[in-house]
C-alpha cells in the first residue's frame, strides 16, 4: 500500500510540475487549432471544417475572432447569431483563454489537494 501511495505521489507531483512549467502549451495549441480551422472556413466557405467550427462556437458560446485588419466580418455574419458573445465584443479566442485558465487552475488545485492526501494517508499507516 505504501508503494502505491508513493507511486501516486510521484505521478501527481510530475503532473503538477508539468502544469506549471508548460502552462501555456495546451492553451497555445488549442488556440492555434481554432485559428487554422477559422482561416480555412474563411478562405473556403464550403469547407468540411465549417461544421466543426460551428460546434466549437456552440460549446464555448462564442463566435469568430476580431482581427486588426477587419477582414473577418463575412465569416461572422454567416455563422454567428445576433445574441452570441461576438456581438457583445467577446471573440472565441478570449472565451477559450478564459475557459482554459479557469479549468487549468481547478486541475492544479485538485492535484494539490490529492497530493496532500497521498502524503497524509500513509502517515497513520506507518505509526
User: What is the value of pTM for the model shown?
Assistant: 0.66
How far apart (Å, rounded) are the C-alpha atoms in residues 15 and 2? 20
Q: What is the pLDDT of residues 23-37, one digit of tens each?
A: 788 888 888 988 888
95 C-beta neighbours (distance < 10 Å), count: 21
Q: What is the pLDDT of residues 35-77, one digit of tens each?
A: 888 888 888 876 678 888 888 888 888 877 776 555 555 556 6
28 C-beta neighbours (distance < 10 Å), count: 12
Amino acid at each position: 500500500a505504501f508503494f502505491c501511495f508513493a507511486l501516486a505521489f510521484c505521478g501527481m507531483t510530475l503532473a503538477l510540475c508539468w502544469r506549471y512549467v508548460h502552462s501555456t502549451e495546451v492553451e497555445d495549441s488549442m488556440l492555434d487549432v481554432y485559428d487554422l480551422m477559422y482561416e480555412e472556413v474563411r478562405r473556403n466557405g464550403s469547407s468540411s471544417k465549417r461544421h466543426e467550427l460551428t460546434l466549437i462556437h456552440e460549446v464555448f458560446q462564442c463566435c469568430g475572432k476580431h482581427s486588426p485588419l477587419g477582414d473577418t466580418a463575412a465569416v461572422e455574419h454567416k455563422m454567428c447569431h445576433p445574441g452570441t458573445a461576438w456581438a457583445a465584443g467577446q471573440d472565441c479566442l478570449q472565451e477559450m483563454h478564459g475557459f482554459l485558465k479557469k479549468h487549468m487552475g481547478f486541475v492544479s488545485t485538485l492535484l494539490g489537494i490529492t497530493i496532500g492526501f497521498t502524503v497524509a494517508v500513509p502517515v497513520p499507516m506507518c505509526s
